[in-house]
Copies of this chain bind each other. A is one copy, B any other.
């Protein structure tokens, strides 16, 4: 892995662990094993590096969701598989956590991938729900868009609860609750 790549991966980790405001160029360089000169040669500065890191993380979040949601099987099973997939729950969502970062939100370039990711995810889940509803898995009155927003919110909120409790079981509990509700929908 060359220096540029190590800098991007280190930045992704640090944005995940500490956010943008809490991450300095210095610690990025140290973790990447690269010097200042190297970092400022490959990137214009902290925000430029963060842009690349955020775009990559957003892409991964989408790809991982698509893997589960595009699988064969009933809609509810695919959604359950996505919600229950292995996650580093106590680290939180690498994309969602950035919505709490004032400097990310203040910069349209850094912020854009966040909105796009959740828009895409909600629409993708809504499509799966609509498909399930049309196959008679859910009540005909089910609102796919609102229900999809609820599911994404349970995920993001589940991370928050787990972090607050210091226990990933809290995430599992929220997921179990919403799946039980969906089973009766």
Contact = CB atoms under 8 A, between A and B. Distances in A.
Interface in A127-185: 139, 142-143, 145-158, 160-161, 163-166, 170, 173-178, 180-182, 184-185
Contact of A143 (B97, B103, B161, B180): B180
Interface size range of chain A in the complex: 35 or more
A151 B173 CA distance: 11
17 contacts: A21-B21, A92-B99, A99-B163, A100-B101, A117-B164, A118-B170, A119-B165, A142-B180, A143-B180, A146-B180, A150-B175, A151-B177, A153-B155, A153-B156, A153-B178, A154-B157, A155-B157
Interface of A: 17-19, 21-22, 92, 96-97, 99-103, 105, 114-115, 117-119, 122, 139, 142-143, 145-158, 160-161, 163-166, 170, 173-178, 180-182, 184-185
